[in-house]
Chains A and B, each alone.
Chain A
């Protein structure tokens, strides 16, 4: 879903960009650039993206407009941040497992706990694994246009 190797190869061999002249002493030590897909997405097959609206998880560092990664293959535990279906809508909350019942708890004192009753207990859609928040005045997260690389920038 996130990684499209055809559209955009993540790695370009630097050596092809070098001007004639001295070979780079780093050539023998080239490594792949860090790939966030690999770092953040443990199981791409079961991972989905969503955008969050609302402020009920404010104190858990989840703000209105943030992106979340949801992994359906992870087992929700008490304390997990989950995406649940409740009363006709998707909602992100903390799961709290008690002896005899399950609760959805907001991270904002303005919101009461919600009961997750028997019938709805299979309605946890997935476990939230990461929150991606764009910092205030940073430019949008979209990939920048990559022009022809200038040699003096690449070594």
Chain B
């Protein structure tokens, strides 16, 4: 048996752990740069908070209703996520971290009462981290997704844990489950299925294998088996190496000044380069992109991106900045107010796997050392203490707006909780 554990309204719940005054109250979290609402807890959703709407359009209304608003505090969410995963791993032999707030677990064979096991998971995560989780238990991963939905649907009655262990329960759940909610079924496929009068997950598994295989490939067939209760997908205990890494960040203001955008870009490139080195990878390909503010229809709009193949794969900050600047020159057009700039790196490989290019010999040996020194200094004295000159000194003029930022309670000594006595 497998279990899917997910944290209820993860970002909002992380904020609430350290703010008992907000327990049971509506909370929303804004995206980077406070652009739009990306998370809302149950209480906020009950008020009809619209997700993904530009924040400035709805904030006054929210404040009137007493909704607490937070900028996204990723250092906090990242650490709390780790704590949840660590807690879960004390109760299972195998764990797959599926996303920042979800994990698949192998249920130990010694667990006889699955409901009680689910409650134990919930209880321990809540006790250790303060976060509320829901649990879906079933024989296959796809069915745990269904069970997890059920656990939420009748939260009070199911006590946030739902078990699909026998065929009757499975059938009842699938008949009550919309086809577009099935794990891995996208909008487009769901529409086609509806046209064929396939409305529920139960309808879906009545389809002939041949048809599913032909229309939805082997992946669709695997999904059908999973919903039939026959395991097809194993837990991925060691995460697959990342294929891409990057940042798509907004700048805090709508920028026209080319030099300033370039500085922001160099800053972001340096951040990505650090991530790359931490994962011991070098990149062979880079995408640079640039975008105006979509939420300001009154402005002239422009967006573009360009790809560069790097002569020698690298994770060297100056080299990556150099190529990013080349790409930027290709796509920058003056006269627009830009809002978003960033890069993606792909073709990631381990450094030893790379052949040197005869015509562009690698300056790495010395640069590798330089980067090590730079990373060490920046770990010790703070991010970007040492940086390339291209990143400049005017961060205040472009940095992200994060006006509602909560303290980094668990990762920064100067921001830990203050308590009375």
Q: Which of B83, B379, B420 has the most CB of A within 10 A?
A: B420
* Residue numbers in A under 8 Å from B129 (CB-CB): 45-46, 72
Chain A residue at minimal CB-CB distance from B90 = A45
Query: How far apart are A128's CB and chain B's nearest CB, in angstroms?
Result: 10
CB atoms of B127 and A85 under 8 A apart: no
Give chain B residues whose Cβ lies under 8 Å from the Cβ of A68. 419
Beyond A1-B79, A45-B86, A46-B87, whether A72 also contacts B420 by CB under 8 A is no
**Is A23 at the interface (CB under 8 A from chain B)?**
no
Q: Are A90 and B83 in contact (CB under 8 A)?
A: no
A91 contacts across to B, CB distance below 8 A: 419-421
Q: Does A40 contact B (CB under 8 A)?
A: no
B21 at the interface (CB under 8 A from A): yes
Q: Give chain A residues whose Cβ lies under 8 Å from the Cβ of B416.
A: 48-51, 67
List 4 extra interface pairs beyond A43-B128, A49-B416, A90-B419, CB under 8 A: A45-B129, A50-B419, A54-B421, A57-B421
Residues of chain B touching chain A, judged by Cβ–Cβ distance below 8 Å, are: 20-21, 79, 83, 86-87, 127-130, 278, 379-380, 409-411, 413, 416-421
The answer to whether A51 touches B418, judged by C-beta atoms less than 8 angstroms apart, is yes
> 1/0 per residue A1-45: CB within 8 Å of B?
100001110000000000000000000000000000000000101
Chain A residues engaging chain B, CB cutoff 8 angstroms: 1, 6-8, 43, 45-46, 48-57, 62, 64, 67-68, 72-73, 83, 85, 88-93, 106, 123, 125
Given A49-B416, A50-B416, A123-B20, A72 and B411 contact (CB-CB distance below 8 Å): no
Of the A-B pairs whose beta carbons lie under 8 Å apart in the complex, a sample of 22, sorted by A's number, is A8-B379, A45-B83, A45-B86, A46-B83, A48-B417, A49-B416, A50-B417, A53-B418, A53-B420, A54-B421, A56-B421, A57-B421, A62-B421, A72-B128, A72-B129, A73-B127, A85-B20, A90-B418, A90-B420, A91-B419, A91-B420, A123-B20
How many angstroms between the C-alpha atoms of A73 and B87 in the bound complex?
10
A72, B413: Cα distance in complex, Å: 19
Q: Do B417 and A51 touch across chains, with their CB atoms under 8 A apart?
A: yes
Determine how close the nearest CB of chain B comes to the CB of A13; give it in whole angstroms.
18
Assess whether B87 is in contact with A45, with CB atoms less than 8 Å apart.
yes
Q: Which residues of A contact B409 (CB under 8 A)?
A: 48
Known: A7-B380, A123-B20. A46 touches B419 (CB 8 A): no
Least Cβ distance of A121 to chain B in Å? 13
B90 shortest CB reach to chain A, Å: 8
Q: How far is the CA of A89 from the CA of B420 in the complex (A)?
A: 7
B20 engages A83 (CB within 8 Å): no
A154 to B278, CA, bound (A): 30
Contact call A53/B20, Cβ cutoff below 8 A:
no
Complex Cα distance, B128 from A65, in Å, reads 25
- In the complex, what distance in Å separates the CA atom of A22 from the CA atom of B129? 52
In this complex, which of B86, B379, B416, B421 has the most chain A Cβ atoms within 10 angstroms of its Cβ? B421
Determine the residue in chain B with the shortest Cβ distance to A143. B380
Smallest beta-carbon distance A110→chain B, Å: 12
In the complex, what residues of A have CB within 8 A of residue B411's CB? Answer: 1
Partner of A92, one of B278, B379, B421: B421
- When C-beta atoms are compared, the residue in chain B nearest to A126 turns out to be B130
Residues of B close to A106: CB separation below 8 A: 421
Task: Give 10 closest A-B pairs by Cβ, nearest first.
Answer: A46-B128, A90-B419, A50-B417, A54-B421, A85-B20, A92-B421, A45-B86, A57-B421, A7-B379, A91-B420
CA–CA, A90 to B21, complex, Å? Answer: 10
Instruction: Give the complex CA separation of A7 and B409 in angstroms.
Output: 19
Q: Collect the chain A residues with CB atoms within 8 Å of residue B87's CB.
A: 45-46
Q: A148 to nearest B CB, angstroms?
A: 13
For A57, list chain B residues within 8 Å (CB).
421
State whether A46 touches B127 (Cβ < 8 A). yes
With both chains docked as a complex, state the minimum distance between the C-beta of B362 and any C-beta of chain A, in angstroms: 26
From A64, which residue of chain B is reached at the shortest CB distance? B421
Nearest A residue to B380 via CB reads A7
Give the residues in chain A near B278, CB-CB below 8 Å. Answer: 6
Within the complex, the shortest CB–CB distance from A50 to chain B, in Å, comes to 4
Say yes or no: A52 contacts B128, CB within 8 Å. Answer: no
- Cβ of B87 to closest chain A Cβ, rounded Å: 6
Asked whether, in the complex, the Cβ of A48 is within 8 Å of the Cβ of B410, the reply is yes
Listed residue (A6, A57, A90) with the most chain B CB atoms within 10 angstroms of its CB: A90
Decide if A45 touches B128 in the complex (CB within 8 Å): yes
Q: For the complex, give the distance between the alpha carbons of A6 and B379 in Å.
A: 9
State A92–B417 Cα separation when bound (angstroms).
12
Given known A-B contacts A7-B379, A45-B83, A46-B83, A90 and B128 have beta carbons under 8 A apart: no
Give the nearest-CB partner of A7 in chain B.
Answer: B379
Chain A residues with CB under 8 A of B418: 50-53, 90
Nearest residue in A to B411 (C-beta to C-beta)? A1
The residue on B at minimum CB distance from A85 is B20
For A60, give the chain B residue with the smallest CB separation. Answer: B421
- Residues of B close to A50: CB separation below 8 A: 416-419
Residue of B at shortest CB range from A58? B421
A79 to chain B, nearest CB (A): 17
A55 to B420, CA, bound (A): 9
A52 touches B79 (CB 8 A): no
Name the B residues within 8 Å of A7 (CB-CB): 379-380
Closest CB in chain A relative to B345 CB, distance in Å: 21
On chain A, the residues within 8 Å of B419 by CB distance are 50-53, 68, 83, 90-92
